[in-house]
Structure 1
Amino acid sequence: METVEEGQNQRKILKLADGGEEDRISNLPDCLILEILSRLHSTQDAIRTGALSKRWIHLWTSITTLIFTHSELDDTLTPCRKTPTSRSDFVSLVDKTLTQCRPSKLKKFIVSTTYDSRFESQVNQWVYYAINFNVEELI
């Protein structure tokens, strides 16, 4: 493995024995990548970020901050985001995500949506989930 520097303002790239290249972010330890993923705008963003590297694909399941935001306005404000527009789709997204996510401790758990009594049992399950992981901040 050799280090190649392209120019003064360009990043260093590691040349691998097989001729491929690996950037410095890919060499970060999992704990730092998890911290970065936990600071993203939403849990959906953290999940999408896993597509950037094979090594990261399942790291999001250990993030310590879970943020779910739903608004019918999301599609008009940010059309490139694939935010569920119906409340039932949003509830399904949260449920599915929580079944896959297993942090050792939960620092923050945020769910932002208009309350609908039809989903009372799911909301109760989300709160129970957060408490089970000793959440520090619940919103």
Structure 2
Amino acid sequence: MDDSSSTGYLDRISALPDDLLHAILAFIGDAHAVTSTAVLSRRWRRVWTHAKNLAFTDCQEKYDAPGHFVGFVDWAFAQRGDDAGLESLMIRISRSIRTGSTSPQQVNGWLRYAGRRVVGFVDVQLWA
């Protein structure tokens, strides 16, 4: 059953062309917010996996459990698959106890991912 026919709701977001959806995602930038767009409509569930710009910053409250930030970055990269290229990727990692420690192996994996899929700008920062 189509949601729009049963509730009278018209899903106008799903009617937008892919190019416009990707332009909207480019303005968002923050990876957590970009992936959250999947709840907007059925059509958006996988649209974020083709976003051209992603920024991961672990100092945000949403990564309060140790290892959550690392797990989220790994999950986001896995969801994007091999075909989705990026124009820019930014990863900012804090060494705080709150977010847990990110291992050199994890960062190396992210850099390998960036080397294969980012055609433009890569910015990886570690601060205390």
Structure 1 length-normalised TM = 0.70
> Which one scores higher on RCO, CA 8 angstroms, separation ≥ 6?
2
C-alpha displacement of 1:38 = 2.6
Instruction: Name the amino acid aligned to 1:138.
Output: V
Question: Partners of 1:28 and 1:18 in 2: how far apart?
Answer: 21
Higher helix share: 2
Question: Partners of 1:26 and 1:87 in 2: how far apart?
Answer: 36
Residue of structure 1 in register with 2:120 after alignment = 136
| 1:94 pairs with 2:73 | yes
Unaligned runs of 5+ in 1: 1-15, 76-82
Structure 1 residue aligned with 2:103, among 105, 109, 119? Answer: 119
1:1-139 matched pairs, under 5 angstroms: 20-22=8-10, 24-71=12-59, 74-75=60-61, 83-102=62-81, 104-115=84-95, 119-139=103-123
Instruction: Name the amino acid aligned to 1:26.
Output: S
Question: Partners of 1:41 and 1:31 in 2: how far apart?
Answer: 16
Q: Is the 8 A contact 2:29 2:53 kept in 1?
A: no
SS in 1 for 2:71: helix
C-alpha displacement of 1:98 = 0.7
Give aligned pairs, total: 115
Structure 2 length-normalised TM = 0.76
Aligned-CA RMSD value: 2.5
C-alpha displacement of 1:22 = 2.4
Greater Rg over alpha carbons, structure: 1
Identity percentage of aligned residues? 30
C-alpha displacement of 1:93 = 1.0
